[in-house]
Amino acid sequence: MLEIVSRTNVSKKLLGFLDSQDLPKALLMAFSLIVPIVVGYGLNHLQLGIYVALGAFLVSANDIDGSIRLKVIGLLIATALSMGVLLLSFYMPAAQWVALPMYGILIFCLSYLSVFGFRASLISFSGLFALVMSFSTLFESEYHVFFVVMMVGIGGLWYALLVLIRYFLFYKKQMEFYLSEAFELTSQLMGIRSELIDPKCDRKRLLTEMLDIQSKLTTNHEVLRELLIMNRRGFSNSSFQTIRLNVFTDLVDMLELAIANPVQYDKMDLIMRTHSRQLTDFQELLNAISRRLRFFGKNISRTLRLQDDDSIRLLMQKVSKNIASFIPKADNGVESTLMLTNYQKYLQNQSDKVAHIERSLKSGNVATKQSRKRDDSLRFLTKQDYNPTIIIENFNLQSPMFRHSLRIAIVSIAGFALGQYLDLDNAYWILLTIVVIMRPSYGLTNERSRNRIIGTIIGGIVAYGLILWVNNHTFNIVMSILTFIIGISMLQTNYKTAAAFITMQVIFTFALIEPNVAEIIQFRVLNTLIGAALATLGVWLLLPTKEISTLDKSLLESIRANRFFLLELSRYYNTKVKKPEYKILRKKAFLSISELNSVYQRILQEPKQDKENMDIVYQVVLLQYSFLTSIASLGSYITNNPTTPASLMFNRAVKYIDSNLTLVEELIKSGQEGRNSTISVVEDKEKGREPDIESIFTINNVEQARKFELEESHLVMEQLQWLSDLSRLIPAHIRKIKFEKQRFLPEVFPG
């Protein structure tokens, strides 16, 4: 039985690998390298072909998912930077005592580009990789330096051209891959929600899994926004993209509905323990929604296979019938009825979204949603700030990126000097190992170091054994290409395996030109071990940065995003005028909680001695998530139902919560200094200032009140009370976390 399960898991992983976006990228990269080399060999100019292939390889890291425009711009900048770095390196002074400091400054500057975000960090890596490769024997040729650099530049342009061709030929496949992933993740989310309402479930584990899935969904949605909005050709003449945009909008709404309808599990458990029929009905319906979403994801490109399925509709009817016949206990009858009715509405809304997605995919109806203007759509994209002042603001030892740039510069120079002192063959592999391994996150760095060492040793042993066993020139060529494709395609998913295959590729390649394979393996492993050891020691001893030091930045962004989201919701409740800012600020709040959860996950990867106050950090993340779900729940009801005018007490309650969150922001920015005094200010200002939440609605005769007024009063009072409680709990927990005082923290503005 275990063997069958193991084989099934392996088959799923293999199918997932073949269907992923990593394999096509690896094939494209292999094609971009092989063609120049083959052409160069055929024209009797193999060296030039290698230079062009190297140029393509240097910029290939910038081929990431998202907007084709940003991707091409990144490739062009990486090409120009690589050419400039190679040119500078070739004209460095010969004297080591002069060259070493200059190399150190250059490495620092290249690494420091990462302050401008993820895409900039990839461009930075291209520059660092070009600098490392300038030390290799590849550039020892009779060609002029400028000509060599020009060939490398042509290689970068060649790769950018291939990326453009791939986009115009296969842009639908990439879009459908991420839509399929969105369906799968949303399906998993529905499945977990089904388990969570069971009173006997492991709730802490399931809540952690749900947070992780929601973070993955948020990341997936960001990629889809770029693909569906920035890549829209003409914005109105592509029915394919318009349909996908409508489907994507429904999936985003499903995520919002899930977040906006948190279950008060302690109260729900009391109901479900005595009403197992409702529990079974809810779970069956959620599981049916989950299965249907997974089916959509698997058949996104084969809409003709979408056969009718009435299971969701029939189960929804069954749920509604059972809720209508629900007889609550007298002590909490109204509250229990409203809770089950609200949950029934949530399930009905999710079912409607699934039905709408199915209609869109089947009929190709592009008129189901109004067409968005380009300017309004672009506002939903997350834009990277490239203001030059960021360079100045981060130029201090309190900035993690400054410390990382300084660290990698010092360690790289130490590795270069050690290689020169020991007179090692191919000593640039030490630098290559340092550049590849070193990352800002300590936990990730430690894990990459270990995985690279293990992978390199395994790859060396396997490749050496195969060469001794087969010893065939054609076999070495085929294995060199195959191991390269597999290694590159697994670089983002399994670093240990990727390191093993890349090491095998290097050995098979050198076996083609160097008969002494054992010596190649020896120096490859030795240089890798030296580089990994230096990188690990550098992270441990040289300006160490704990991942928890970045918690205050993410926490501050999350609190501000939630505060602005609440204020925009209050504006709508008062004016009843809906603006795009509501969804934009909602998206920012979702992104900020996703980033906060990612920081928490990275803290978990750190060594045990560096995991300070993990229980408190976990509680803070849950509090922030609860705060967001409460605002989203309030917003979902207010924006989708008729409501009474906002009362004075409602506005007072929002102002009270806003003031508490503003004080929490000051608490975080104050750092460790002044912590106690700041907390006392928060506590003093809280005393006697909390409004009477229950007085927001005054319904004299409950029996005669309209149904929607009862629902509104119950939901608004409940959520405002919860938000008020959370706004007091958050500072109490934050006080227990030891933050490092930061001089520069981000400003977050609404809109």
- Looking at residue 694, its pLDDT comes to 53
- Looking at residue 232, its pLDDT comes to 56
Is the CB of residue 78 less than 8 Å from the CB of residue 58? yes
Report the length, in residues, of the chain: 751
CA atoms 75, 77, 81, 84: torsion sign:
positive
- Looking at residue 409, its pLDDT comes to 94
Look up tokens 């490239």; give the residue. 386
Q: Same domain, yes or no, for 212 and 283?
A: yes
> From CA 695, how far away is CA 505, in angstroms rounded?
72
> From CA 369, how far away is CA 217, in angstroms rounded?
22
> From CA 300, how far away is CA 297, in angstroms rounded?
5
Q: Same domain, yes or no, for 524 and 558?
A: no
- The highest-confidence range among 156-170, 375-389, 474-488, 498-512, by mean pLDDT, is 156-170
> From CA 181, how far away is CA 491, in angstroms rounded?
20
* Domain final residue, candidates 516, 544, 572: 544
> From CA 723, how far away is CA 650, in angstroms rounded?
12
State the amino acid at position 680 in one-letter form. S
The pLDDT tens digits for 728-743 are 888 888 887 766 544 4
Nearest Cα residue to 413 out of 100, 134, 89: 100
State the amino acid at position 473 in one-letter form. H
The pLDDT tens digits for 618-666 are 888 888 988 998 898 888 888 877 788 888 888 888 999 999 999 888 8
Residue 197 pLDDT exceeds 70? yes
The 3-state secondary structure of 540-574, one letter per residue: HHCCCCCHHHHHHHHHHHHHHHHHHHHHHHHHHHH
Q: Same domain, yes or no, for 319 and 284?
A: yes
Look up tokens 């900048």; give the residue. 77
Nearest Cα residue to 697 out of 658, 645, 657, 636: 645
Residue 47 pLDDT exceeds 60? yes
Q: Same domain, yes or no, for 364 and 443?
A: no
Q: Same domain, yes or no, for 324 and 423?
A: no
Q: Same domain, yes or no, for 561 and 704?
A: yes
Residue 70, in any domain of the structure: no
Confidence of residue 305 (pLDDT cuts 50, 70, 90): low
- How would you classify residue 471: left for phi > 0, otherwise alpha for psi between -120 and 50, otherwise beta? left
Residue 617, in any domain of the structure: yes
- Looking at residue 492, its pLDDT comes to 66
Per the model's pLDDT, the better-predicted residue between 700 and 343 turns out to be 343
Q: What do you get for the CA distance between the two ends of the chain, in Å?
A: 55
Q: Same domain, yes or no, for 368 and 412?
A: no
Enter the tokens of residue 609.
């001695």
> From CA 187, how far away is CA 296, in angstroms rounded?
10
Is the CB of residue 538 less than 8 Å from the CB of residue 407? yes
- How would you classify residue 643: left for phi > 0, otherwise alpha for psi between -120 and 50, otherwise beta? beta
Residues contacting 152, CB < 8 A, separation 6+: 51, 52, 54, 55, 58, 82, 83, 86, 130
- Looking at residue 740, its pLDDT comes to 53
Q: How many domains does the chain have?
A: 3
- Per-residue pLDDT averaged across 320-345, rounded? 71
Residue 207, in any domain of the structure: yes
Enter the tokens of residue 315.
């189960």
Q: Same domain, yes or no, for 370 and 497?
A: no
Segments in 197-264 forming alpha helices (H): 203-225, 239-260
> From CA 192, how far away is CA 365, in angstroms rounded?
31
- Per-residue pLDDT averaged across 596-609, rounded? 74
Residue 545 pLDDT exceeds 80? no
The pLDDT tens digits for 355-384 are 999 888 887 544 444 445 544 555 555 566
- Looking at residue 96, its pLDDT comes to 80
Enter the tokens of residue 600.
């928490």
- Looking at residue 705, its pLDDT comes to 46
DSSP letter assigned to residue 695:
G
Residue 353 pLDDT exceeds 90? yes
Residue 482 pLDDT exceeds 80? yes
The pLDDT tens digits for 26-43 are 889 889 989 998 999 899
* Domain final residue, candidates 499, 521, 544: 544
Residue 299 CB neighbours (<10 A): 16
- Per-residue pLDDT averaged across 77-105, rounded? 91
Confidence of residue 191 (pLDDT cuts 50, 70, 90): very high
Residue 40, in any domain of the structure: no
Return mean pLDDT, the chain: 79
> From CA 635, how far away is CA 590, in angstroms rounded?
14
Q: For residue 424, what are the domain limits? A: 405-544
Q: Same domain, yes or no, for 614 and 481?
A: no
Nearest Cα residue to 48 out of 139, 163, 158, 162: 139
- Per-residue pLDDT averaged across 169-189, rounded? 90
Residue 239, in any domain of the structure: yes
Confidence of residue 119 (pLDDT cuts 50, 70, 90): confident
Residue 440 pLDDT exceeds 90? no
> From CA 476, how far away is CA 31, in angstroms rounded?
18
Q: Same domain, yes or no, for 259 and 279?
A: yes
Is the CB of residue 183 less than 8 Å from the CB of residue 294? yes
- Per-residue pLDDT averaged across 124-137, rounded? 89
Q: Same domain, yes or no, for 314 and 216?
A: yes
- CATH number where 600 lies: 1.20.58.220
- Per-residue pLDDT averaged across 265-281, rounded? 76
Residue 18, in any domain of the structure: no
- The highest-confidence range among 168-177, 297-306, 348-357, by mean pLDDT, is 348-357
**DSSP assignments along 113-145, one per residue:** GGGG-HHHHHHHHHHHHHHHHTTSGGG-SSS-H
Residue 151, in any domain of the structure: no
Q: Tell me the CA distances in angstroms from 69 to 159, 223, 424, one per residue in order.
A: 15, 13, 43
Encode burial over 509-523: b for 16+ CB neighbours within 10 A, e otherwise. bbbeeeeebeebbee
Q: Give the lowest-confidence range in 4-8, 302-306, 446-450.
A: 4-8
Nearest Cα residue to 100 out of 408, 422, 412, 539: 412
> From CA 610, how far away is CA 66, in angstroms rounded?
35
Nearest Cα residue to 447 out of 438, 456, 457: 438
Residues contacting 57, CB < 8 A, separation 6+: 29, 32, 33, 155
- The highest-confidence range among 142-146, 183-187, 194-198, 514-518, by mean pLDDT, is 183-187
Confidence of residue 527 (pLDDT cuts 50, 70, 90): confident
The pLDDT tens digits for 686-727 are 444 556 555 554 444 444 445 556 667 767 887 888 888 888
Is the CB of residue 628 less than 8 Å from the CB of residue 585? no
Residues contacting 77, CB < 8 A, separation 6+: 123
User: C-alpha dihedral over 501, 502, 505, 506, to 10 degrees?
Assistant: -140
Residue 81, in any domain of the structure: no
* Domain final residue, candidates 529, 544, 559: 544
State the amino acid at position 607 in one-letter form. P
Q: Same domain, yes or no, for 539 and 560?
A: no
In this prediction, what percent of the chain has a pLDDT beyond 90? 23
> From CA 435, how far away is CA 429, in angstroms rounded?
10
- CATH number where 240 lies: 1.20.58
Residue 412 pLDDT exceeds 90? yes
- Looking at residue 182, its pLDDT comes to 95
Q: Tell me the CA distances in angstroms from 458 to 432, 463, 498, 695, one per residue in order.
A: 19, 9, 11, 69
- Looking at residue 149, its pLDDT comes to 95
> From CA 321, how far away is CA 723, in angstroms rounded?
33
DSSP letter assigned to residue 301:
T
The C-alpha R_g of the chain, in whole angstroms, comes to 29
